[in-house]
Chain A
Amino acid sequence: NAGVTQTPKFQVLKTGQSMTLQCAQDMNHEYMSWYRQDPGMGLRLIHYSVGAGITDQGEVPNGYNVSRSTTEDFPLRLLSAAPSQTSVYFCASTRRDQETQYFGPGTRLLVL
């Protein structure tokens, strides 16, 4: 199993550009989540999904969109990037009957 994979590893954007961060898992996990990690603030939940076709907002959803068309994939879209979105983004997944989250390696995003 590859576990949770994320692409790209690193990206530089200009303010106003759009992009999609990809996340995929091969463990058949029902639940998937996106977090952002900022210095001194730990990880904060952006959006999560409890299954294909079902998504919900987390703590810091503004500026981000998600969709979940398959169990495996959970992309995160930035429609118009802002410098405040400079961060490291982690995707995670878990089974419905578990609490342990499995994290991807992260995407480091720099918005100029």
Chain B
Amino acid sequence: GDSVTQMEGPVTLSEEAFLTINCTYTATGYPSLFWYVQYPGEGLQLLLKATKADDKGSNKGFEATYRKETTSFHLEKGSVQVSDSAVYFCAFAKFYNQGGKLIFGQGTELSVKP
């Protein structure tokens, strides 16, 4: 069935380190792909998205490329900051006109130390 698999956390990095959080999905068709971020004590907010193969989503220094051949959407950032500490969720929307239903991965907690 439809699913999203994310790299397990927690991930602990030093400030200015390079970040990769792996995400792969299983779905039929051509879903839109998302990364959401949840800062401590808050709800989720959209970080970036890509709607078709080879699209690159980017925001706040984060990037992810929609790779249809490997069904992946890995999140990267060249230099993380303490303020990036949060939980990151990979997700896809298969039928955007059916209530915007999202299938989420389990989340990856990132902790950035000064």
Contacts and interface: CB of A to CB of B under 8 A. Distances in A.
B99 interface: yes
A25 interface: no
26 contacts: A31-B100, A33-B100, A33-B102, A35-B104, A41-B106, A42-B4, A42-B105, A42-B106, A42-B107, A43-B89, A45-B102, A48-B99, A50-B99, A90-B43, A92-B44, A96-B97, A99-B34, A99-B96, A101-B44, A103-B36, A103-B43, A103-B44, A104-B43, A105-B43, A106-B42, A106-B43
A100 B49 contact: yes
Interface residues of A, number: 28
Interface string A37-74: 00011111100111000001010000000000000000
* Chain A interface main SS type: strand
B51 to A, nearest CB: 7
Contacts of A100: 34, 46, 49
B45 to A, nearest CB: 7
Contact of B100 (A43, A94, A104, A105): A94
Contacts of A99: 32, 34, 49, 51, 93, 96, 100
A31 to B, nearest CB: 5
Nearest to B43: A103
B89 A42 contact: yes
Contacts of A48: 99-101
B49 A42 contact: no
A105 B42 CA distance: 5
B112 to A, nearest CB: 21
A98 interface: yes
A49 B99 contact: yes
B101 A33 contact: yes
Q: Which 4 A-B pairs have the closest CB atoms?
A: A42-B104, A103-B43, A48-B99, A94-B100
A43 B38 CA distance: 12
